Amino acid sequence: MSKTITLRLDDQLCNRFRKLADRDNRPLSNFIQTAAFRFIESEQFVDEFEMDEIHGNKNLSASIKNGFRDAKAKRGQFA
C-alpha cells in the first residue's frame, strides 16, 4: 500500500527535479520516488564487481562466515 508524504524542497532543487522529470516524461512524484529508490538500492547492495572482490578475498569471506555464525548463535555484542 502506498503512502502519501509531504516533502519540502527549495525552489532551485524543485525546478531541477521538474526539468529532469519532464525530460523523462514522468510525473514529478514518480521521478523523486525512483531517484530515492535508486539511491537506497545503490547503498544497500553491492554490484557484481564488488561481489567478485569479496568472494576473491579469503580472509574477508572467512570473517563474514564467522560473524554470521556468531550472530546466529547470539554470541558477541550487536549495536
Could you tell me how many helices (H) and strands (E) the chain has, helices first? 4, 0
- pLDDT tens, position by position, 20-75: 999 999 999 999 999 999 888 887 777 788 888 888 999 998 998 999 899 889 88
CA 32, chain centre distance (Å): 14
Q: Contact, 54 vs 46, CB < 8 A?
A: yes
Q: Cell numbers at residue 37, please?
A: 529508490
Q: Enumerate the domain spans of the chain.
A: 9-45, 46-79
Cα–Cα distance measured from residue 30 to residue 33, given in angstroms and rounded to the nearest whole number: 5
Cα–Cα distance measured from residue 11 to residue 19, given in angstroms and rounded to the nearest whole number: 12
* pTM of the complete model: 0.55
The residue ranges of DSSP E strands in the chain, in sequence order, are: none
